[in-house]
C-alpha cells in the first residue's frame, strides 16, 4: 500500500546520545528571580529545592548538546525509541492530500512522555546520594512516571496528588502505589502549608498550586530529599528533547520534511521537546517550519495571557519566571485535560511565541473529543485528552489542505493514551460534556493581582 | 550493555503473510458434535452461528499455512509486529543466569492479544456482506478488541457484558462505547434466554456462559448478523499464531532458541498462538522444547479437570467439544483474572496436553500478583493479571536456573497490560487479596453432571 511503513521504529543504537539544549541557539532568556530579593536565582538557592544535576541543566544556556548518562539511556531502552507513526487511516478518513505523522509517546506504563524527564531526575537524585524525592501530580501522568523511575532507582517518593484528582482517579493512584509511592491527597495535614489551607478552606478539593507548595515544603524539611517538577522548567524541556530528536532522525531516514509541527501546550515540556531540534534549524536560519502550540480554550495562557514575571505556584514560594501567564491565582475550569490546566508557560516557549517564531491557538473541549474519537477509530489508539488538542489542530490543518489541494506534511505529538480518562470519554459519549471559556473580566481580574 | 537489543522489533515486511495451522501437523482431533444428534457438526450448522470465513478455518485441519488477507495485514500494521523483549532488568533483579524473553502483546488500545483475532473475524464478516456481529465479554479485553475491529470495518456490534464486570469495570465499557459498540449488561431483558435467567435468578450478576447464550440468540435472531468468539475455538488459535510466528522470526534473527515456552491458559488462544510454530517443530521431530501452560488454582481445567465432551457455555446451546473441562456448571471464584475464568480448554491444547507434548501447572493469585509487581518495577510495564500467571512461572523457572547454574532460555507470552485491573492491584497493595482453591468435592460434583 505504501512505501513508508506505518510505524517508523529507530533501533536502540539510534536513540539520541545527547539531549539538545535549544537555549544555546536562542538569545539569553530573562532569568528566574528570587521572589524576595528580585535578583536572579543563584545555583545555591535552586539546589535547596532541586537536585544538583537538574539545577546545572536548568542554568545551562550555552551547551547545545548535553550527554544523556548511559544509565538513563539504558532505562530509555525499556520504552524508547518511541514510534513515529504515519496516520494513513486518519488521512484516508479525512480524504486529505496532506501527510500526517505523529510521534507516539504513550507506549509505557506512565502512559505519556513524562517518563523521559522522570528517569533523568531520579537518576541524578540517586547519583547525588539523595534517598527520596517529592512531587505533586494533577492528572496523574507525572506522578506515575516519577513513581516508576523512583522504584527503579530505589528512591522513596511522596506524591501530593490534588485531592479531587485522587478521588476521581483512584486507578492512577493505585499505579503509583504499586510502584511504591506514598500518595497523599492534597491539601493534607502533613505540611504546614496544607494545614493552613485546610483551615482557611475546609473541604477544598485542592489545586496544583497547593500541591506544589506542599511538595516543596516536604522536600525542604526532609533530609536527603529534593523536589522534582514534571514540566514548565527548562531542564524538563531539555530531557523532552529526545522526542524531537528521534522524530527528526526518523523523518530524515525517509526523506520527509514537515511543514507544520503541532503540540499541545500545558506547562510546555512536550511541546518544547517535540519542536526543539526543528526550532533550532529555524533559529539558525537553516530551514523554516510552522509551529503551532495548542491550548485549551479554558486555560489560554499564550493566546490570552500576559508576558510578565509570575510565580510558578499559587502559594508564591517558587522563583519568579517571565512567562505567558493568566496569573497564579487563575483557577482554570475543571476541564478533562488536567495536564493542560496550568496558569503559566515555560519561558523558552513564551519567548519564542513572543518573538513570533511560533503560533498559538486554543480549542474547545468538545471539539477536542470529537477529534479524539475519530482518531481512536481510525488509528486504533485511544488518545489522552491533552494529546487530542494537537490531534484537533492537525485534523483542521489537514482539512485546509483538502480545500486548497496542498500536500503538506504535518507532524504532531501524541503525548499519551487516554486509558485513565474514561470518565471524560463517558461524559462525551453521553453528550454531557460542556465547554468553558473564561470571560475577559475573569482573566483581567486574575492578571491585575500581578501588578 | 548487551549485544541483543532490549526490544526486538521486526519490520512491517516481516509480519507473517500466513497464519500457521498447527492441526495440519497433528493427528485428527475429535470433532465438534451437534448436541442433539451427537453427530459431527456440519459446516452449514456452524454457519448459522459464525461467519463463513471463520467456519472454513475452524474445520480446516489439513492446510499448514493459511494466507492472511492483505486487508487484515494492513490493520495488523497499526500495532504489529509486536516487540519481543529481553527482560534484562528482571534477570538482573533475580540474579539468574537464565535469559528471559517475552512477547509483548499489550501495546494496543484493546490492551491484549485479542485484537489479532477480532480484526480477522470482523474482516470476514464485512466481506460476506454481514452488517453486524454480537459477542460476549467478561474481563472486557475481547469486547474492546472486537469493538475496535467493528468500528474500523463499519459493522454494528452488540456486546453482552457480564453484569458484574460491567458494574466493576465501567471504564472498559466506556472504551467499547467510544468505539461505537452497544454494550448490554447480561443477563438482560433483550433476549429470551436472558429474561428466563432473570426470572429464575432475579438480581444475578451474570456469568460468561449466560452472556454467550444471549449473544448467540441475538445473532441468530438478527438479519445479516453472526456471533464472534474470542477464544476456545480453533480459528481463534489460528489467528493468534501470529504471536508465535513473529516470536520465532525475532529469536531466529538473533540466533536464540528457547528451552522453555510459557503461556497463561484460559480458553487457550494466547497459549496456542504463542506455542504453535514451536510445537509444530516438536511434532515434526525437528527440535524439542518444554511447553508450560499456566492456569489459576481457582480454575484448573487442565490440571484437575477431565478430558471429555462438554458444552462451551452454561446454557448448553453451543456444540459439544472434547476438552479438558471442570464441567460447564463449574463457577470459578471471582478471581481477578477474568480472562482465565473459563471451565474448559481449547481442543488443540487439550489434545497436546493429553498426549504429553506439554506440561501444565497452576498458581495462586497472590503469588501471581507478587510476580506482577516485581515485573512492573523492573521491566516498566504493569502487566495484566492473566499474563502475570506466565510471569510467575517464568520467574520460578529462572530461579531454578539460579540454583542449578543452568543458562536456560525462557520465552513467555505477556498477553496484555493491567491498566483496567487496578481494583485488583489495590486489593493486593492493601494486603486484602485472598486465594481460592476449589475442593475435590466441588470439582467432582460439577463433573458428575456431565455423565
**Pick the residue with more confidence: A339 or A441?**
A441
pTM above 0.80, yes or no: yes
From the list B74, B79, B377, which residue is nearest A179 (CB)?
B377
Question: Which residue from A24, A5, A50, A2 is spatially nearest to A276, judged by alpha carbons?
Answer: A24
Question: Which residue from A448, A52, A375, A418 is spatially nearest to A224, judged by alpha carbons?
Answer: A52
Q: Give the gap in angstroms from C-alpha A230 to the nearest C-alpha of chain B.
A: 19
| Percentage above 70 pLDDT, chain A | 99
From the list A79, A178, A423, which residue is nearest B376 (CB)?
A178
For residue range B317-369, list pLDDT tens digits in order.
Answer: 889 999 999 998 887 777 777 788 889 999 999 999 999 999 999 999 999 99
Per-residue CA distances from B249 to A83, B11, B136, B412, B446 (Å): 21, 11, 34, 15, 43
Checking if the pLDDT of B97 tops 80, the result is yes
Distance CA B148, CA B115 (A): 8
For residue range A251-262, list pLDDT tens digits in order.
Answer: 999 899 999 999
Give residue A315's pLDDT: 76
Place of cell 484516508: A92
Query: What fold characterizes domain B18-65+113-227?
Result: Rossmann fold (3.40.50)
Question: Which residue from A384, A244, A267 is spatially nearest to A325, judged by alpha carbons?
Answer: A267
CATH 3.40.50.1100, chain A: domain bounds: 18-65+113-227, 72-111+233-448
Checking if the pLDDT of B165 tops 60, the result is yes
Checking if the pLDDT of A1 tops 70, the result is no
Per-residue CA distances from A19 to A46, A141, B1, B99, B326 (Å): 21, 22, 20, 32, 57
Give residue A2's pLDDT: 46
- Count CB atoms within 10 A of the CB of residue A342: 25
- Supply B17's cell numbers: 503473510
- Count CB atoms within 10 A of the CB of residue A329: 17
Checking if the pLDDT of A3 tops 80, the result is no
Question: Which residue from B27, B53, B55, B52 is spatially nearest to B41, judged by alpha carbons?
Answer: B55
Q: Which residues of B touch A (CB under 8 A)?
A: 1, 5-7, 9, 11-12, 74-75, 77-79, 89, 107-109, 111, 148, 151-152, 170-171, 174-175, 177-180, 373, 376-382, 417, 419-420, 422-423, 425-426, 429
Q: What is the CATH number of domain A72-111+233-448?
A: 3.40.50.1100
Q: Kindly report the backbone phi and psi dihedral angles of residue B405, in degrees, each rounded to the nearest multiple of 5, phi listed first.
A: 80, 10
| Contacting residues of B for A425, CB less than 8 Å apart | 174-175, 177-178
Give residue A206's pLDDT: 85
Q: CB burial class (10 A; 0-12, 13-18, 19+) of residue B440?
A: exposed
Give residue B208's pLDDT: 83
Across all residues in chain B, what is the average pLDDT? 95
Distance CA B283, CA B21 (A): 13
**What ipTM was assigned to the predicted interfaces of this complex?**
0.95
Checking if the pLDDT of B1 tops 70, the result is no
**Pick the residue with more confidence: B341 or A14?**
A14
| Percentage above 70 pLDDT, chain B | 99
Query: Is residue B215 within 8 Å of B182, Cβ to Cβ?
Result: no
Give residue A264's pLDDT: 97
- Supply B23's cell numbers: 492441526
| Contacting residues of B for A5, CB less than 8 Å apart | 11-12, 77
Give residue A354's pLDDT: 98
Give the chain A residue nearest B85 (alpha carbons): A78
Amino acid at each position: 500500500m505504501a512505501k513508508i511503513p506505518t510505524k517508523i521504529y529507530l533501533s536502540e543504537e539510534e536513540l539520541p546520545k545527547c539531549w539538545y539544549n535549544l537555549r544555546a541557539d536562542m538569545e539569553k532568556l530573562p532569568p528566574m528571580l528570587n521572589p524576595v530579593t528580585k535578583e536572579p536565582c543563584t545555583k545555591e538557592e535552586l539546589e535547596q529545592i532541586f537536585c544538583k544535576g537538574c539545577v546545572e541543566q536548568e542554568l545551562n544556556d550555552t551547551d547545545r548538546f548535553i550527554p544523556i548518562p548511559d544509565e538513563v539511556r539504558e532505562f530509555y531502552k525499556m520504552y524508547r525509541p518511541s514510534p513515529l507513526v504515519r496516520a494513513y487511516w486518519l488521512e484516508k478518513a479525512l480524504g486529505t492530500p496532506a501527510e500526517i505523522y505523529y510521534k507516539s509517546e504513550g507506549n509505557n506504563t506512565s502512559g505519556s512522555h513524562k517518563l523521559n524527564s522522570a528517569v533523568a531526575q531520579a537518576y541524578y537524585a540517586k547519583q547525588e546520594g539523595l534517598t527520596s524525592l517529592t512531587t505533586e501530580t494533577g492528572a496523574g501522568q507525572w506522578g506515575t512516571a516519577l513513581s516508576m523511575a523512583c522504584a527503579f532507582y530505589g528512591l522513596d517518593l511522596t506524591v501530593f496528588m490534588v485531592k479531587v484528582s485522587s478521588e476521581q482517579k483512584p486507578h492512577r493512584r493505585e499505579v503509583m502505589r504499586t510502584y511504591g509511592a506514598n500518595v497523599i491527597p492534597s491539601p493534607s495535614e502533613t505540611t504546614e502549608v496544607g494545614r493552613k489551607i485546610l483551615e482557611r478552606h475546609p473541604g477544598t478539593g485542592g489545586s496544583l498550586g497547593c500541591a506544589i507548595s506542599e511538595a516543596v515544603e516536604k522536600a525542604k524539611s526532609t533530609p536527603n530529599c529534593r523536589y522534582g517538577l514534571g514540566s514548565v522548567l527548562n531542564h524538563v524541556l531539555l530531557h523532552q528533547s529526545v522526542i524531537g530528536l528521534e522524530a527528526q532522525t526518523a523523518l530524515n531516514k525517509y526523506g520527509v520534511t514537515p511543514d507544520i509541527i503541532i503540540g499541545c501546550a500545558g506547562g510546555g515540556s512536550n511541546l518544547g521537546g517535540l519542536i526543539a531540534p526543528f526550532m533550532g534549524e529555524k533559529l539558525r536560519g537553516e530551514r523554516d517550519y510552522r509551529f503551532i502550540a495548542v491550548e485549551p480554550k479554558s486555560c489560554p495562557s499564550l493566546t490570552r495571557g500576559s508576558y510578565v514575571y509570575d510565580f510558578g505556584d499559587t502559594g508564591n514560594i517558587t522563583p519568579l519566571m517571565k512567562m505567558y501567564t493568566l496569573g497564579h491565582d487563575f483557577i482554570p475550569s475543571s476541564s478533562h485535560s488536567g495536564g493542560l490546566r496550568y496558569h503559566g508557560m515555560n519561558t523558552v516557549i513564551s519567548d519564542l511565541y513572543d518573538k513570533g517564531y511560533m503560533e498559538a491557538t486554543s480549542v474547545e473541549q468538545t471539539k477536542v473529543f470529537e477529534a479524539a474519537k475519530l482518531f481512536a477509530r481510525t488509528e486504533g489508539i485511544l488518545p489522552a485528552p491533552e494529546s487530542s488538542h494537537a490531534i484537533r489542530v492537525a485534523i483542521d490543518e489537514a482539512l485546509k489542505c483538502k480545500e486548497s489541494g496542498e500536500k503538506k506534511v504535518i507532524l504532531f505529538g501524541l503525548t499519551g493514551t487516554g486509558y485513565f480518562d474514561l470518565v471524560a470519554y463517558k461524559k462525551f459519549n453521553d453528550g454531557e460534556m460542556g465547554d468553558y471559556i473564561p470571560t475577559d473580566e475573569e482573566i483581567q481580574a486574575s492578571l491585575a493581582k500581578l501588578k
